[in-house]
A = this chain, B = another copy of it.
Amino acid sequence: MTAYRVADNAPPGPARHDSSAQPAPALQPLSLEGRMLRALLHAFGDPPVQIALWNGERVGPAEPVATLHVPNRSTLVRLCRDPDLQFGELYSSGQLPIEGDLGRLIEVLYQGSAHPGRNSISALRRLGQWLHRRPSNTLHGSRENIHHHYDIGNEFYSLWLGSTMAYTCAYFPTPEATLDEAQNAKMEHVCRKLMLRPGMTVAEAGCGWGGLALYMARHHGVKVRAFNISREQIAFARERAKAQGLESNVEFVEDDYRNIRGSYDAFVSVGMLEHVGVENYPGLGEVIRGCLKPEGLGLIHTIGRNRWKPMHRWIDRRIFPGANPPSLKQMMDIFEDSEFSVLDVENIRLHYAKTLDWWWRLYEESRDKVAAMFDENFVRMWRLYLAGSRAAFVTGEMQLFQVVFSAGTNNKIPMTREHLYHP
């Protein structure tokens, strides 16, 4: 016997939770734990998730997408006090085993977190506390933040990023494309948007492991100066350039984008803006204005949002400190003051969901290697991050924007976008 009873003839929870769906079957909690659990589930919009307690009690629908096993009272207290953060902390540390479909679980939690029942005031208060604790994106703070994520080790990333080592959203021209094909297609798509021609010069801000810089040089005959503040990535990229015989075409510079100087035919940044910080957008615009020729094209590829909200706190703490995906409205601060003209915005959110499908699958295939490199807690932490990121793009919590722009007076811009598809 348990203190809570799920109505025996309740229908299974809907596969996709929304506001018009049946609420979770009513419970009659008798204990403190029951009330805490009910509050917790309600805060997430009564999703089709089951919670199994240490004493055998179960709360939630009979056929959930997943079941969370809470092994003791103190775990439950931590979870209820701060679910946004503690869900990730407890799962990663093995204190909150999950049975069922982790991907779907996070999707329904994302959908639930948009539920009006969420206490946005307290979320904002907590945000304030967090904003004060992390290194900001000053020149020094950026180095600290970037080191946290990207210098974990190139070997780790190479387990699941595929041969391109591109750690940004791919572009699947067909549903059957492989990850490597889709990453190459993304790079080609970016090059076409920039209308690269042999002999042109390109500045790249935030070049990761150098895949795009090398692609541009090899396939489009351009000269690239590529900037990155991650020492490990720069070292790796230089090795690749040497191995591919492209050392004289691509210069990898271990420096901050704010120090880009010179004059280039194109400016490109794929997956850096997330780390720039909204307060630095006008300054980024000035940097680009200073280095892009009057008839040059620029492209920024970034994770974004339909409207701004703070980064998920667990992701901020454990995975990406200081990251902040902007809304399009916020992005315009890059362009407006520097008199740029936005020519093209493409939102390829669903391509990131597919990219993360691939990464997660490859990651799980290498989970033993990851455990040997780190430990089981790390395995779970990154699983949650990959599954959670995939869910964010599936549910529309996150977007992926590619924005092409030029000086406002540039009349050498393309008339149509047909060349992107049939060059």
Q: Give the B-binding residues of A (Cβ under 8 A).
A: 18, 111, 171-173, 175, 306-307, 327-329, 332-333, 335-337, 339-351, 394-396, 399, 408-411, 413, 415-418, 420-422
Q: For A396, list chain B residues within 8 Å (CB).
A: 341, 408-411
Question: Is B306 a contact of A341 with CB atoms below 8 Å?
Answer: yes
Q: In the bound complex, do residue A339 and residue B408 qualify as a contact, i.e. CB atoms below 8 Å apart? A: no
Task: Pick the residue among B328, B346, B395 that contacts A332 (CB under 8 A).
Answer: B328
Q: Can you report 9 A-B residue pairs in the complex whose CB atoms are below 8 A from each other? A: A18-B409, A173-B418, A306-B339, A307-B336, A344-B345, A344-B347, A348-B415, A394-B411, A421-B421
Cα separation A413 to B420 with both chains bound (whole Å) = 19
Complex Cα spacing A337 to B327, Å = 12
Q: Which residues of B contact A340 (CB under 8 A)?
A: 306
Residue among A18, A175, A410, A420 with most chain B CB within 10 A: A420
Is the pair A344, B346 in contact by a Cβ cutoff of 8 Å?
Answer: yes
Contacting pair B342 A347 (CB below 8 A): yes
Task: Give, as a whole number of angstroms, the nearest-CB distance from A147 to chain B.
Answer: 33
Q: Choose among B172, B344, B345 the residue that contacts A342 (Cβ–Cβ < 8 A).
A: B345
Please tell me which one of the listed residues B175, B336, B411 contacts residue A327 in the complex, with CB atoms under 8 A apart: B336
Q: Which of A172, A327, A333 has the most CB of B within 10 A?
A: A327
Within the complex, which residue of B306, B408, B416 is in contact with A306, where a contact is CB–CB below 8 Å? Answer: B408
CB-CB nearest 9 A-B residue pairs: A345-B345, A329-B332, A307-B336, A396-B408, A343-B347, A418-B421, A306-B408, A421-B421, A396-B409
Could you tell me the distance in whole angstroms from the C-beta of A77 to the nearest C-beta in chain B?
33
CA distance A344 to B327 in the complex (A): 14
* CB neighbours of A175 from chain B (8 A): 415
Q: A395 near B415 (CB under 8 angstroms)?
A: no
CA distance A408 to B397 in the complex (A): 8
Name the CB-closest residue of B to A353.
B411
Q: How far is A332 from B329 in the complex, measured between Cα atoms in Å?
A: 6
Q: Give the docked Cα–Cα distance between A209 and B139 (Å).
A: 56
CA distance A398 to B418 in the complex (A): 23
Q: Which residues of B contact A111 (CB under 8 A)?
A: 409
Cβ–Cβ contact B411 & A350, under 8 A: yes
Distance between A307 CB and nearest chain B CB, rounded to angstroms:
4
Closest residue of B by beta carbon distance from A346 = B344
A349 to B307, CA, bound (A): 27
Q: Known contacts A306-B408, A332-B327, A345-B345: does B339 contact A413 (CB below 8 Å)?
A: no
Report the nearest B residue to A16, measured CB to CB: B409
Chain B nearest CB: distance from A94 CB in Å?
Answer: 33
**Complexed CA–CA distance, A422 and B419 (Å):** 12
Residue contact A415 to B341, C-beta cutoff 8 Å: no
Residues in B with CB closer than 8 Å to A408 are 306, 396
Given A341-B399, A421-B422, check contact A350 B307 (CB 8 Å).
no
Give bound CA distance, A225 to B38, whole Å.
Answer: 47
Contacts of A418 in B (CB 8 A): 173, 421
Task: Decide yes or no: A307 and B339 within 8 Å by CB, A332-B329, A411-B394 being known contacts.
Answer: yes
Shortest Cβ gap from A404 to chain B (Å): 9
Q: Which chain B residues border A328 with CB–CB below 8 Å? A: 328, 332, 342
- The one of B341, B345, B417 in contact with A349, judged by C-beta atoms closer than 8 angstroms, is B341
Q: Which residues of chain B are within 8 angstroms of A172 by Cβ–Cβ distance? A: 415
In the complex, which residue of chain B has the Cβ closest to the Cβ of A397? B408
Chain B neighbourhood of A333, CB < 8 A = 329
A207, chain B: closest CB distance, angstroms: 25
Q: How far does the alpha carbon of A347 sit from the alpha carbon of B348 in the complex, in Å?
A: 18
> Among the listed B336, B339, B344, B413, which residue makes an inter-chain contact with A329, where contact means beta carbons less than 8 Å apart?
B336
